[in-house]
Amino acid sequence: MAHRRRALAAFYDGPVWRRHRDAANATMADSDDVLLLRGPGRTPPPDATEIRATICHPPDPAAFDTYAARHLTPTHALHRTEHAVNDFPRLPVRTGEDVRVWFGPSAPPPWPYVRLRLEPVGA
């Protein structure tokens, strides 16, 4: 979290953001609906043309762990809600939710979920 705070401050107080923030903000429908996640990170394969992300709000962490053990592997790069205090208040973060996000194909979870198709930069 300390690294996140320093990196965000350096970016948002820097000359590149100041110069391009209006154009960048114009491309975002809603930049205030944000969840803070902790995960292993993931770098897409160099030849990837799309990445699928699944977002779900499991009501029971133990049941989710059972699902994950059956259907997810380390290559799915599972991310979980980070419940730490948001120490960069200029970027508001939603709290009070438990969310799981993973990348790659998998069996649909038994809870409501959203699947997104993402394109890597340069694809």
| Cβ partners under 8 Å of residue 55, min gap 6 | 99, 100, 101, 113, 114, 115, 116
Same domain, 58 and 100: yes
The answer to whether residue 107 sits within a structural domain is yes
How many structural domains comprise the chain?
2
Tens of pLDDT, residues 82-99: 999 999 998 889 898 899
Residue 62 falls inside a structural domain: yes
Tell me which residue range forms the domain holding 102.
Answer: 34-118
Q: Which two tokens stand for residue 51?
A: 């990445």
Closest CA relative to residue 95, chosen from 84, 105, 80, 103: 84
pLDDT digits (tens, 9 = 90+) for 17-70: 999 999 988 888 777 778 899 988 777 777 878 888 999 999 998 999 999 999
